[in-house]
Amino acid sequence: MTEASSSAPTFSKPLQLPLAQEEIDRINAHLQNLTPEGILNWAVEHVPGLYQTTAFGLTGLVAIDMLSKITPSPPPLIFIDTLYHFPETLELVDEVRQKYSVPIHVYKPGGCETVQQFEAKYGEALWEKDETLYDYVVKVEPARRAYDELSVAAVITGRRASQGADRASLQPLEVDSTGLIKLNPLFEWTFPFVEWYVKENNVPRNKLLDQGYRSVGDWHSTAKSGEGDAGERAGRWAGKTEKTECGLHVDYFAMKAAAQEKLEEAQISEQARVAVAVIEAK
């Protein structure tokens, strides 16, 4: 890929939102010819309300490092603390904060600061009972709350086309159903490129990657990669071959509607249980 020439198209600074599909196509035609650093530099100059969402995977860490060299004021980070992260992941959050001095906004499930509070509200092992509801309350809702409270218009992601599944046809810039801009600066990089950059630039990384893990998420849904496991995300959602996303990159409105329906059903069931208990106590 080559950087933009003097004949590169011009865009308003900042971009005027919302973006029409014609403008999205024009932007992508331009960004596809840039390096990841070029895409990030373009975004810093043009995209309003820009943040980076990250779970501190390798690709996100590469973007953090690149941004630290592009601008003295990189976009703040948003980290969704599901309350079920590995200790090594939380250690990495602190290491990144110290190394890059970038603001990190941490969001947790609504009304919950601890696992105990979460399980008192939703029960134990919610991910086993209702995985979609779990994804919504620990990831999707906190993320939307972050976007609303921080006035986020666009987020930098660590998604890449080589990760496959729904990401195979990834573009450098996308707009989701809520109007949120998602910038994917390393969309064209393969995993070996990412590993090379991390090593060459001494980028902090999760210690679990040296212990047989390829991709790290919540402790209960992350396993070490077995011999012969294919794919860089091997070990995530083990035994659930149909699951490829945690909910942050699927249709928000569909997930919200499904989650609210289930939460209402659970509330009705609890009210019925209390009513029966009251009657039986008389």
Residue pLDDT, tens place only, 153-164 = 999 999 999 887
CB half-sphere exposure, 119, CA atoms < 13 A? 9
112 is catalytic: no
Per-residue pLDDT averaged across 199-210, rounded?
96
Give the pLDDT band (50/70/90) at residue 276: very low
pLDDT at 82: 97
Domain ranges of the chain: 21-281
Whether the CB-CB separation of 197 and 58 falls below 8 Å is answered with no
pLDDT at 254: 83
Long-range Cβ contact pairs of 142-150 (< 8 A, separation 24 or more): 142/80, 142/107, 142/108, 142/109, 142/110, 143/53, 143/78, 143/80, 143/107, 143/248, 144/178, 144/252, 145/107, 145/110, 146/78, 146/80, 146/105, 146/107, 147/180, 150/51, 150/76, 150/78, 150/105
Give 78's strand partners. Answer: 53, 105
Share of the chain above pLDDT 70, in %: 83
Name the strand (E) or helix (H) holding 92.
helix 87-100
Catalytic residue (one of 246, 248, 255, 259): 246
Ramachandran angles phi, psi of 51, nearest 5°: -130, 170
Residue 265 has pLDDT above 60, yes or no: yes
Residue 215 has pLDDT above 90, yes or no: no
CATH of 21-281, one of 3.10.20.30, 3.40.50.620, 3.40.50.300, 3.20.20.60: 3.40.50.620
For residue 255, the one-letter residue type is M
Give the pLDDT band (50/70/90) at residue 241: very low
| Residue 52: Cβ-neighbour burial (10 angstroms; 0-12, 13-18, 19+) | buried
- pTM to 2 decimals? 0.85
Residues 217-240 have pLDDT tens digits of 999 989 886 544 555 545 444 555
Per-residue pLDDT averaged across 38-42, rounded?
98
Strands 104-107 and 77-80: parallel
